[in-house]
Structure formats: structure tokens, C-alpha cells
Amino acid sequence: MSKQLKILATTLGSVLITLFGLMVITFMIGRVMPVDPVIAAVGDNAPEAVIQRVRAEMGLDQPLIVQFYNYIVQVLHGDFGRSILTRNPVIEDISRYFPATMELATAALLISALIGIPLGVWAAVRQGSMTDQVIRVICLAGHSVPVFVLALLSLLIFYATLGIAPGPGRQDIIYEGMIPQVTGFLTIDTLIEGDFDAFWDAVKHMIQPVVILAYFSMAYITRMTRAFMLDALKGEYIITARAKGLSLTAVVWKHAFPTVAVQLVTVLALTYAGLLEGAVVTETVFSWPGLGQYLTVSLMNGDMNPVVGATLLIGVIYVGLNLLADILYKVLDPRVR
């Protein structure tokens, strides 16, 4: 029991140190950026007296160590300050924009996992074949081509040229403001409201950004699955299973795949965190009203409170998903326990 408590204390200490380091980094981001938050708030032509008064109100006239202490206290109370652009508390803006990002990331993860895992298994089973080579090329392209290039090409081809896809945004203008926000997931909220026209409109607007994010993630999931399966297929128990005359399907899915499924838990957790972070560029291109666009617009306008708040949130999600993956790994794999 004492050993388990020691492991728990070590894990908790590691998480706390990581979160503290994250707060230090986000604090420094708000201080080293070339944009003066005071000037961004009052404007370039404000009198010097106003600038000094606002600087004092924001606590930026105090020593750096005092500012950092106040920052930690505010963060622990869920206070990230106010946005200069929206005039709302940053935590309220994040709670409004973040569900849109989660909706994209969740849909992209489901699609990439459902396609990428079978592709990775297939490539491993057919190692060295033409099928394997084609899958590896597809994955290489997914890692090599920047997301914003794929997003712009998608808009150019399917929206501007062919006209078979809706334009940027989360929904057509005729539906804006009509659907009450319950979960923040527009597809779910439209179903709760019973508005199927708005539901299909939301789905159509999701297709392009979701497919692009899913392709990028699928490339990583496929490569990792292939690597894990190649290792598993070399095991002695696989040779024994084949010697018993079991079919290839049974050997692959009943004997080899379960041993790599645990490792894929970590891959999927990190992929999901990467999707939440990587949606920034995709949301900007598609004018998707999520956390990524909120972060980008705030950064371009020198509104640093949202930038720091969103960056800290993404970092906390990374730490949380890593911790969850470690816990699941130990729960699912008795060898680790």
C-alpha cells in the first residue's frame, strides 16, 4: 500500500510541477510580447496620465514577482481577466468558444481512429507489398503538407470552384442565433431543438474542416498502429497461433491487435490533445468560431488576456490527457501494474 501511495504522490507531484511550469510560461508570454496590453486597451493616442492609471489598475506597475503571485491567485480562482475586444471575462468567452473546437476535434478523432487503425493493421500485415507502400505514401503526405494549405485548397476546389460545399463559418446566416446553446455542440443542440434543417446545415459546414483534421491525425495514427503491429506480429505467441492453423484474421485481431490496443490509448489521447491545439489554423481558414479563431484574433489585436488564458487551457488539457493515458495504460495492461 505504501508503494502505491508513493507512486500516487510522485505522479501528483509531477503534475503539479508541470502545471506550475506551465503557469510560469504563460505568465512570461503575457510579459515578453512586443504588444503593450495597456496601449492595446486605451489606444495609442491616450494621454500619459490615463496610460499610467490603467497600468496601475492592471497591476503592471508592480514588481514582476508580485505580478506573478497575483497571476497565480487569479488563475486558481478561475479569473483570466477581461478581453479588450469582447469586454467579457475571458473564462466566459472560452466557455462559449471552446465547445466549437471540441466538436471539430472529437469528430476528427473518431474518423481518424476508425480509418487509421484498420489501415495501420492492414499495412503491417501486408508489409512490403504495394498496399503497404501506398498507405505509407498517403501517411507521409498527411504529415508533410501543411494543414493551412489543405484547408485553402479545399475551399478553393469544393466551395469556390465546384460550389458543392458550404462556405466558411459554422452555419448559414439564416440559422444564426436560432439554436439555443445547451451543450455547445451545434449538431447535438440542433437535434435537441428538433431542427433537422439546421442539423444538416451544421453537418455540411463541418465536413471540410473535420476531414482535413482527420486526415492529418489519421496519418499519425496509421503510422503508429503499423509500427506497433509489426512488433506484435514478430512475437512467439503469434508464431504459435499460426502453427495451430488459425486463420489470418483470428491471428491478427484476436491475438496480435489486443496487445497493441493498450499502446494506442496513449496515441489517441495525444492525438486528441493535438487536434484541440492544431484546430487553430483550420478554424482561422474556415472562420470557425472556436477557441483557435478566438486565440488568433486576440493575438492579432494585442489582446493578451485571452491569449494567455487559451494557451493555459490547452496546456492543462495536454497534461490531463497525458495523465489519463498513463492511468488507462496501467489499468488495461497488467504488466505495467
Cα separation, 83 vs 89, in Å, equals 6
Query: Which grid coordinates are listed for 131?
Result: 498496399
Query: pLDDT by residue (tens digit) across 36-68?
Result: 677 766 776 777 787 788 778 777 778 888 888
pLDDT for position 334:
59
pLDDT for position 292:
83
- Sequence ranges of the domains in the chain: 2-76, 90-165+207-332
pLDDT for position 305:
81
Residue pair 208/286 in contact by the 8 Å Cβ criterion:
yes
pLDDT for position 209:
92
The residue type of 296 is T
Residue with cell 505509407: 136
Locate the DSSP E strands across the chain: none
Residue 82 is given by DSSP the state B
Q: How many CA atoms lie within 13 A of 279 on its CB side?
A: 36
Q: Rg (Cα) of the chain, in Å, rounded?
A: 24
What are 82's strand-pairing partners?
Answer: 89
Task: Give the CATH architecture of domain 90-165+207-332.
Answer: Orthogonal Bundle (1.10)
The pairs formed by 241-246 with CB atoms below 8 angstroms and a separation of 24 or more are none
Cα separation, 145 vs 335, in Å, equals 39
Give the Cα-Cα-Cα angle 180, 181, 185 (nearest 5 degrees): 130
pLDDT for position 231:
87
pLDDT for position 332:
67
Cα separation, 153 vs 282, in Å, equals 12
In degrees and rounded to multiples of 5, residue 87 shows phi and psi of: 65, 15
Whether pTM exceeds 0.75: yes
Q: How many CA atoms lie within 13 A of 249 on its CB side?
A: 0
Which residues in the chain come in under a pLDDT of 70?
Answer: 1-2, 4, 7-8, 32-36, 40-41, 44, 278, 332-337
Query: Which grid coordinates are listed for 330?
Result: 496501467
pLDDT for position 110:
94
